[in-house]
Amino acid sequence: MADFRENLRGGIIMAASMAAFAVNDTFTKAVGGEMGVMQVVFLRSVVVAPLILALAWMRGALTFNMAGRDAWLLGLRCVTEVLAAWFFLTALFNMPLANATAILQVTPLVVTLAGFVFFREQVGLWRLSAILVGFVGVMMIVRPGGADFTIYSVWALAAVLAVVARDLVTRRMSGALPSLTVASATAITVGAAAGIGAMFEPWEPVTLTAALKIGGASGAIFFAYLCSVMAMRMGDIGFVSPLRYTALIWALMLGWLAFGHFPEPLPLAGGALVLAAGLFTYMRERHVARQLARSAA
Read off the pLDDT of each residue in 170-193 and give the average, rounded to a whole number. Answer: 88
Give pLDDT, residue 82.
95
User: Which one is predicted more confidently, 244 or 95?
Assistant: 95
Look at phi and psi of residue 260 and say left if phi exceeds 0, alpha if psi is from -120 to 50, else beta.
left
Candidate from 68-77, 101-110, 209-218 with smallest mean pLDDT: 101-110
Using the predicted structure, report yes or no on whether residue 230 has a pLDDT greater than 80: no
Average pLDDT over residues 6-20: 85
pLDDT at 81: 92
Q: Is 279 exposed, middle or buried (0-12, 13-18, 19+ CB in 10 A)?
A: middle
Mean pLDDT of 183-200: 93
The pLDDT value given to residue 211: 95
Q: What is the dihedral of CA 202, 208, 213, 214, to 10 degrees?
A: 60
Does the pLDDT value for residue 254 go beyond 80? Answer: yes
Closest CA to 86 of 130, 41, 47: 41
Q: What is the pTM of this model?
A: 0.85
For residue 91, the model assigns a pLDDT of 94
Q: For every residue of the chain, which 3-state class applies, written as one string? A: CCCHHHHHHHHHHHHHHHHHHHHHHHHHHHHCCCCCHHHHHHHHHHHHHHHHHHHHHHCCCCCCCCCHHHHHHHHHHHHHHHHHHHHHHHHHHHCCHHHHHHHHCCHHHHHHHHHHHHHCCCCCHHHHHHHHHHHHHHHHHHCCCCCCCCHHHHHHHHHHHHHHHHHHHHHHCCCCCCHHHHHHHHHHHHHHHHHHHHCCCCCCCCCHHHHHHHHHHHHHHHHHHHHHHHHHHHCCHHHHHHHHHHHHHHHHHHHHHHHCCCCCHHHHHHHHHHHHHHHHHHHHHHHHHHHHHHHHC
- pLDDT, greater one: 228 or 1: 228
Is residue 30 scored above 70 in pLDDT?
Answer: yes
- Give the N- to C-terminal CA distance of the chain in Å, as an integer: 18
Q: Mean pLDDT, the chain, as a whole number?
A: 86
Mean pLDDT of 13-19: 88
Determine which of 37-46, 139-148, 156-165, 169-178 has the lowest per-residue pLDDT on average: 139-148
pLDDT band at 226 (very low <50, low <70, confident <90, very high): confident
CA 270 centroid distance within chain: 19
Residue 17 has pLDDT above 70, yes or no: yes
**Dist CA 73 CA 168 (whole Å):** 10
What are the backbone dihedrals phi and psi of residue 115, each rounded to the nearest 5 degrees, phi first? Answer: -60, -35
180: left (phi over 0), alpha (psi -120 to 50) or beta: alpha
Q: In the predicted model, is pLDDT for residue 62 greater than 90?
A: no
Q: Which residue has the higher pLDDT, 283 or 197?
A: 197
pLDDT digits (tens, 9 = 90+) for 78-136: 999 999 999 999 999 999 999 999 998 888 888 888 878 877 777 778 888 888 898 89
Q: Is the pLDDT of residue 71 over 70?
A: yes
